């Protein structure tokens, strides 16, 4: 299957700082990437849909000014958690959708970034 990387894998930061997470599709071009958040023993909750060259579409309840998403190229999307607080501590996972016919819907996930805000 397609390969998606994510960096960093783990980050610890102080409350009030900003953290940037990168998501890359390594062997395919992804016009659409998705950002999820997963709390312990819970399901994946979609935060936003990232579209290359346009603004991200945020899910209800997700603050777009707090979770900045930039999808500058067909292989890279970034999520910046601004002014992070302890309640933002979570496992953040991106996914990328292959854009070819017949596999349009298939999403491949990055390895995730574990964020701990002290």
Partner 1 sequence: GENVEQHPSTLSVQEGDSAVIKCTYSDSASNYFPWYKQELGKRPQLIIDIRSNVGEKKDQRIAVTLNKTAKHFSLHITETQPEDSAVYFCAATQGGLTGGGNKLTFGTGTQLKVEL
Q: Which is nearer to partner 1, 70 or 106 (CB)?
A: 106
Q: Which is nearer to partner 1, 82 or 91 (CB)?
A: 91
- Collapsing DSSP to helix, strand or coil, 108 comes out as strand
70 lies in the site for partner 1, by CB under 8 A: no
Question: In terms of residues, how long is the chain?
Answer: 118
110 lies in the site for partner 1, by CB under 8 A: yes
Token look-up 């603004």 returns: 55
For residue 47, give the nearest of 18, 80, 5, 25 by alpha carbon: 80
Concatenating the DSSP letter of every residue in 10-53 gives EEEE-TT--EEEEEEESSS--SEEEEEEE-TTS--EEEEEEETT
Q: Which is nearer to partner 1, 28 or 108 (CB)?
A: 108
Please pick, from the candidates 28, 34, 67, 92, the single residue that binds partner 1 as defined by CB under 8 A: 34
Q: What is the binding site for partner 1 (CB under 8 A)? A: 1, 32, 34, 42-46, 49, 51, 57, 91, 93, 95, 97, 104-112, 114
């Amino acid at each position: 299957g397609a390969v998606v990387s994510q960096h960093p894998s783990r980050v610890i930061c102080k409350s009030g700082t900003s953290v940037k997470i990168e998501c890359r599709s390594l062997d395919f071009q992804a016009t659409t990437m998705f950002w999820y958040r997963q709390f312990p023993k819970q399901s994946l909750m979609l935060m936003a849909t990232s579209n290359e060259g346009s603004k991200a579409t945020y899910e209800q309840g997700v603050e777009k000014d707090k979770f900045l998403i930039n999808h500058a190229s067909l292989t890279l999307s970034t999520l910046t958690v601004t002014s992070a607080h302890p309640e933002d501590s979570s496992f953040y996972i991106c996914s990328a959708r292959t854009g070819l016919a017949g596999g349009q819907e298939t999403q491949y996930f990055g390895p995730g970034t574990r964020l701990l805000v002290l």
